[in-house]
Amino acid sequence: MAHLLRGKQAGIQNDLSAGLGPHLFVLDDIKRFGINSQISQIAYDPVQALLAVGTNETQFGAGQIYVFGQQRIDVVLPLPRRASVRILQFCGDKIICLDAKNDLSIFSLETKQLIASYSPPAKISAVHSDPTLDYVLLGTQTGDILAYDLDRENLAPFKIPNFWREQNPRARLTPVVTISFHPRDIGTLLIGYSDGAVIYSFKQNKVLKSFQYELPRGAPGGDSDPSSINMARKPALTQAIWHPTGTFILTGHEDSSLVFWDPKDGRVVMARTLSDTNVDKPGGGSTTHGVSPGTFAFKAPLFRIAWCANQDPDDTAILFSGGAPTTLPTKGLTLLELGRTPVYATSSWQVLSDHFESPKRQRILPTPANAEVVDFCLIPRSSPHFAGAHDPIAVLALLSSGEVITLSFPSGLPISPTNQLHPSMTFVHPFITHANLAPIERTRWLGMTERRAHGPPILRGGAEARHPLKRFESRNIVQTAHADGTIRLWDAGHGDEIENEALLQANVNLAVGRYDAVDVALVSLSGATGELAVGLKTGEVVMFRWGHNKNAGREPPPPTQNTPKKLTNITERQDPALTEGLLPFTLLNEQNGPVSALKMSDVGFVAAGFEGGSLSVIDLRGPAIIYSANVQDFVKSDKRGSFRRSGSQGAAKVQWPTTLEFSVMTLDGDDYSSILLHVGTNLGQIATFKLLPDSSGRYSVQFAGSSSLDDRVIRIAPLTAETGRPAHASQGAVSNLRSGIKVNGVLLAVTQSGVRLFKPAAQRGAHKTFDSVLCDSAAVVRYEEMGYALLGLFGDGYARAYSIPALKEIGSVKLSDTLDIRRFSEANITSTGDILAWKGPAEMALVNVFGTGLKLNQSKDILFNPQLTIPPRPTISNLQWISGTQYITPSDMDLLIGGPDRPPSKRMLMQARADEQQRRADARGPHTASSSAAGGSDEAWGAYLQRQLNERTEKLGLAGDSMDKLESNSAGWADDVGKFVQKQKRNMVLGAVKGKFGF
């Protein structure tokens, strides 16, 4: 009965939802995009070319690990229990994670599963691993260091005691702050305690040197407080790292001091801060003054330090975050380019000190204002050694705001994450301010591949899993607007195979002509033409069009002033790095408040509404503004009165457009169809305009009428009355107008409190009010060939479907467990029942209401490639070996830590196999001492060291014999030269005498 009554009121004779039933509405959880919570850790594996991101446990989600590879490869590794990721490291084919609950979790890259979880007996404060070892060292709050066996998945018997307490029994609690293997000698370990640092030798099982930073009276140190200069103090250590070749040691302290040490004799080479040197000496350094006279500025702590190496490990630079005065407006990363390290054996102490006192260059790598870099991750080209700082090409910086930025190294130029990082990483690079979804035909999207200049790819690892292929559905193209004025477009898919995985990028800041106050409010994309409209909160509307950049590689000219209330030609404001893609076309500077509604049609028209109440219609064929007016000029005034009298006349309510839609249909009373524009407002008015061609060749806009609803209009859906198909202004429908085709259409208008189905422009139609719940977002959806329905997202967390035209509830699906109810108004609903909506501040979920109960699975992709082997660890030089430095291999470390009774691990077996192959290859050629050293893989560690010592002694003896022979040979050669000279003199004299006598 409701179908007949409402259908008659709306002018619809058929039940457009006849084939739909409640059993069809089942939720499919298809995909996640973005990061579920605040990022806490970032790690990179240069061998597998994978990026790992760990998150904190917050109200928006539990801590977990994301692993990203090339293109769309992503795997989510959940922690054993809810906690925040505190330390994250790659180690060979594993990922090591320490969470806030002191649990050590080991994940396999090959199986993408948790393979071991361990709760240490003490609080862990530092974790260190090496890709050539099967062990991870765990530094504790008590100062001890434990070793966890990654192959046996249990604690190893090896333990390093608290050496600092042994040296100073009266020292307070000294937790382990940092642990670091020597870059070239894995048998030497640098341990940083809160009070100082020590160098520990595995070979000798003792401390070789200890380092403690002491400031006498009068030495400023890194503190800015002048009152602290008059007392002796020992600033606590925060980090201790090696020089890339192990020549020096650098310690960072809580007073922002950087102290360089000589590891051989334990002396301070240089103590400095960002701006001052010799801060450990009385009278050195200076005080950082504050903003007002007589004040001083505190310095931020040193969050992270990395000693980077070029391709030549002796060509170094130091990168660190923090340590800058808090009064600086921009707190970026600081890079000290030291250049080539002086030769230690031949350089004086002054030369070494000057090397750190006066670097070749000091620069600030800029970061966004009002945010500090709290951590960073270097991106090496290929080597995982040298503490992951060998020949880096980029750096990923984690900001205090939770965002991530990518900078080139060492220039510090910003790198766009478009097609460099996974689309999920772009959600925090920087944050997304607005997101929209538009369907684009598959063939058109496959042809939209931009050509842009960019550096070498960062993520190259992994292999994607196979997905079903849906070639006959329009692609779900997401448009995301970011805080830096960047628009990115990418295919979200339907849980199927994505054929065109590349991202498109449009730079709004270049198009507008400024880099500040570029806040995107709305984005609208035409699926038929590929044209893009962007509305800003400052009142501008920017149009982009696909094209070829003839000025690629050349900087655009200085931007001219944007003309108010008119169109500005912005075709010259093109990105020089872009050769083909979305290019700026034209700009409207309305100056009437933020853009409140925006619609890019498929037939060359753009409509924009502004919070000041104005409405503008642009014909892109000119381009030209063909209509501009205020909403108050054409909508009906609000005649609803009040029984309550007021002493003064109340101010009129401001009315502005909230939703716009183009259609092709026949208006009530007309005998022809035309292009229509429907405008919904915040006070419930729906106005309809005709777009008609005139004699000048342009189109004119005529007001056709309006209808009043009860609340804010959130959706307008034009439908064909006979079939229910969308009556949008498509290119085909507009071209059919020439043949006089008539479209019997109706409008389905949804407000927050109800829905109306009527024939435009001013009929009453059928109406339904939602019971005790508000609708936040709505759209007309279709399930295969069975019919159409109105799908709405409601404030109680449910998605409900209503029949057309009866407007009777068909079915419902609960979404509150999957999506964020508070952001339902920003959700995007497609005609196929896909819903792309926010789950958290930086995470979106793609679900479908016509599903089969599919559960989310984000672990199908392959991550680990066993054919990519870890390069050999750097070793000591021949000069160091001859001088007596005892060197042990990673295999020897396995015996030292695991003990003689430990069966060989998988890594050891592979290494033994490689050693055996090398021994056989050497046996075919000349036998050398080096081949015999490589062949003794079965002997004990002590015998191995004894044999090495004997070989070294033998070599030294051979070298001595060679020197003796060289001396005797040199003496014989000198005698021969003397005899030859005497013979020549005698021949010369005899020759002169013989010539005189005529012989």
pLDDT digits 0-9 by tens, 524-557 = 999 999 999 999 999 999 999 999 999 888 888 8
The two tokens of residue 364 are 């600030």
Amino acid at 500: N
Mean pLDDT confidence for 149-159: 90
* Contact in structure between 252 and 239 (CB atoms under 8 Å): yes
878 forms beta bridges with none
260 forms beta bridges with 250, 270
pTM over 0.85: yes
* Contact in structure between 518 and 500 (CB atoms under 8 Å): no
Closest-CA residue to 712 (of 758, 760, 759, 749): 749
DSSP 391-430: SEEEEEEEETTS-EEEEETTT--B---TTTS-TTGGGBTT
Q: State how far Cα 701 lies from the chain centre.
A: 46
Q: How confident is the model at residue 763 (pLDDT cuts 50, 70, 90)?
A: confident
- Strands annotated E in 416-502: 432-440, 451-452, 475-482, 486-491
- Look at residue 285 and tell me whether its pLDDT is greater than 70: no
- Look at residue 171 and tell me whether its pLDDT is greater than 90: no
Burial label for 972, CB within 10 Å (0-12, 13-18, 19+), is exposed
Supply the pLDDT for residue 962: 44
pLDDT digits 0-9 by tens, 646-655 = 444 445 688 9
Tell me how far apart the alpha carbons of residues 438 and 476 are, in angstroms, rounded to a whole number. 6
* Contact in structure between 615 and 633 (CB atoms under 8 Å): no
Tell me how far apart the alpha carbons of residues 398 and 403 are, in angstroms, rounded to a whole number. 6
Mean pLDDT confidence for 21-38: 95
Supply the pLDDT for residue 296: 58
DSSP 8-state class, residue 157: E
- Look at residue 454 and tell me whether its pLDDT is greater than 80: yes
The two tokens of residue 329 are 């407006």
Tell me how far apart the alpha carbons of residues 305 and 319 are, in angstroms, rounded to a whole number. 6
DSSP 8-state class, residue 649: P
Supply the pLDDT for residue 469: 87
Supply the pLDDT for residue 959: 41
- Look at residue 237 and tell me whether its pLDDT is greater than 90: yes
604 Cβ contact partners less than 8 Å away, ≥ 6 residues apart: 529, 619, 620, 621
Closest-CA residue to 556 (of 534, 582, 583, 533): 583
User: Long-range contacts of range 721-725, CB-CB < 8 Å, 24 or more positions apart?
Assistant: 721/10, 721/11, 721/12, 721/13, 721/745, 721/746, 721/759, 722/13, 722/14, 723/14, 723/16, 724/14, 724/16, 724/780, 724/782, 724/787, 724/788, 724/804
DSSP 8-state class, residue 314: T
- Look at residue 359 and tell me whether its pLDDT is greater than 90: yes
The two tokens of residue 604 are 């060359």
The two tokens of residue 158 are 């090896």
Other beta carbons less than 10 A from residue 54's beta carbon? 25
CA 648, 649, 655: angle at the middle one, nearest 5?
A: 145
Strand (E) or helix (H) holding 107: strand 104-108
* Contact in structure between 474 and 527 (CB atoms under 8 Å): yes
- Look at residue 971 and tell me whether its pLDDT is greater than 70: no
Tell me how far apart the alpha carbons of residues 810 and 832 are, in angstroms, rounded to a whole number. 16
pLDDT digits 0-9 by tens, 855-891 = 998 888 999 999 988 888 888 765 555 555 666 777 7
Strand order in the sheet with 614-619: 595-600, 605-610, 614-619, 624-630
Tell me how far apart the alpha carbons of residues 76 and 74 are, in angstroms, rounded to a whole number. 7
Supply the pLDDT for residue 935: 37
Q: What are phi and psi of 271, to 5 degrees?
A: -120, 125
Mean pLDDT confidence for 648-672: 84
pLDDT digits 0-9 by tens, 939-968 = 444 454 455 545 545 544 444 444 444 444
- Look at residue 4 and tell me whether its pLDDT is greater than 70: no
The two tokens of residue 543 are 């149009």
Tell me how far apart the alpha carbons of residues 155 and 147 are, in angstroms, rounded to a whole number. 6
The SS3 call for residue 931 is: helix
**Count of alpha carbons within 13 angstroms of residue 501, beta-carbon side:** 14
726 Cβ contact partners less than 8 Å away, ≥ 6 residues apart: 717, 718, 719, 720, 780, 831
Supply the pLDDT for residue 954: 53
Q: How confident is the model at residue 982 (pLDDT cuts 50, 70, 90)?
A: low
- Look at residue 997 and tell me whether its pLDDT is greater than 70: no
What average pLDDT does the structure give for the chain?
86
Supply the pLDDT for residue 337: 95
The SS3 call for residue 592 is: coil
Mean pLDDT confidence for 124-146: 95
584 Cβ contact partners less than 8 Å away, ≥ 6 residues apart: 510, 511, 542, 543, 544, 570, 571, 573, 574
Closest-CA residue to 5 (of 811, 765, 810, 707): 765
* Contact in structure between 304 and 322 (CB atoms under 8 Å): yes
Closest-CA residue to 772 (of 753, 791, 790): 753
Tell me how far apart the alpha carbons of residues 133 and 120 are, in angstroms, rounded to a whole number. 20
Look at the alpha carbons of 569, 575, 580, 583 in this order and tell me if their dihedral is positive or negative.
Answer: negative
Tell me how far apart the alpha carbons of residues 752 and 771 are, in angstroms, rounded to a whole number. 11
Task: List C-alpha distances in Å: 211 to 13, 185, 203.
Answer: 89, 20, 20
Closest-CA residue to 486 (of 503, 502, 509): 509
Closest-CA residue to 52 (of 62, 63, 41): 41
Amino acid at 187: G
Q: What are phi and psi of 734, to 5 degrees?
A: -70, -40
pLDDT digits 0-9 by tens, 195-232 = 999 999 988 889 999 999 999 988 888 876 677 788 88
pLDDT digits 0-9 by tens, 685-716 = 999 999 998 877 789 999 999 999 989 999 99
Amino acid at 122: A
Task: List C-alpha distances in Å: 588 to 557, 560, 629, 788.
Answer: 20, 14, 14, 37
- Among 286-290, 292-296, 666-670, which range has the highest average pLDDT? 666-670
The two tokens of residue 930 are 């080096």
536 Cβ contact partners less than 8 Å away, ≥ 6 residues apart: 508, 512, 518, 519, 520, 521, 542, 594, 595
The dihedral over CA atoms of 17, 22, 24, 26, expressed in degrees to the nearest 10, equals: 140
